[in-house]
Amino acid sequence: MIKNLIKMADTLDSLGLAKEANAIDDMIKSAAKSSPKKTNTKRHIAVSEVPADTLDDVMELGLLSGKVLLKHPDLLRKARPDAKKRAEWIRDHKASLKKGEPIFKGPNAYIKPPPPTLRLSPNHPSRLHKLIRLEVDLDALMKEIPETRIYGIELTPFPVTEETWDRMSKKEIEEMKKDIGNSRKRFLSMPELDELFSRSAEDLWAHYDRKSPLYAGDVPHIAIITPSGVVPPKFLRLVKG
């Protein structure tokens, strides 16, 4: 039922009927409240999405960081088959790594995947490509590889819209960056990780930006940084269904 309602809302949105689409969204939320909730007995189970064509490689080699993937052009071509988008990906990753940013030093993952009631952007990767979900057992990973660090990304919503940002002066942008500080991205302590994983998917995705083509625009998510830049396959489990 919920999937059909989401398709209906998407159709209305594409026709410019935002008011009607929002009314369907309210119906989706109401239907979700009556659905049974699944609980997870483990505290820290993250979720990653990988292209279906790369699943065999991932289950053999593990989840690779952007830094490691740059060293495997054959795997990168599978993960980013479009040449133009692959070139952009390489450029962005190299620039980030040159700045010493941690975000691409470990594979990224959802703290919790999008709730079934959420209408994702038409440009969300999961709507453009066949992706497979994998659970990542962070508890077991951090126990066996205690040097593992978890880097939080987009921990708080961006304070202004993209349109406002584009209109801001360089001085205003620098001042805002100082105000934001490390509130949106930083290495997480265990209490912070506990707090994030205690939140519901609906809460985590409350500020999701439907205009964003990213996996989790304005949604708290993480980079899992091991010394090797790889999450070994023994800590991964295929999510069925």
Residue ranges of domains in the chain? 1-36, 39-65+102-238
Task: Measure the CA–CA gap between 167 and 218, rounded to whole angstroms.
Answer: 20
Check residue 8 and give its pLDDT.
Answer: 63
- Identify the burial level of 232 via C-beta atoms within 10 angstroms of its C-beta, where 0-12 means exposed, 13-18 middle and 19 or more buried: middle
Question: What's the pLDDT score for residue 231?
Answer: 98
CA neighbours within 13 Å on the CB side: how many for 153?
Answer: 23
Q: How many other CB atoms are found less than 10 A from the CB of residue 144?
A: 13
What's the whole-model pTM score?
A: 0.80
Q: Please state, in angstroms and rounded to a whole number, the distance separating the CA atoms of residues 155 and 133.
A: 22
What are the residue ranges in the chain where pLDDT is below 50?
38-41
> Tell me: the pLDDT tens digits for 95-106?
999 999 999 999
Residue indicated by tokens 């991964």: 236
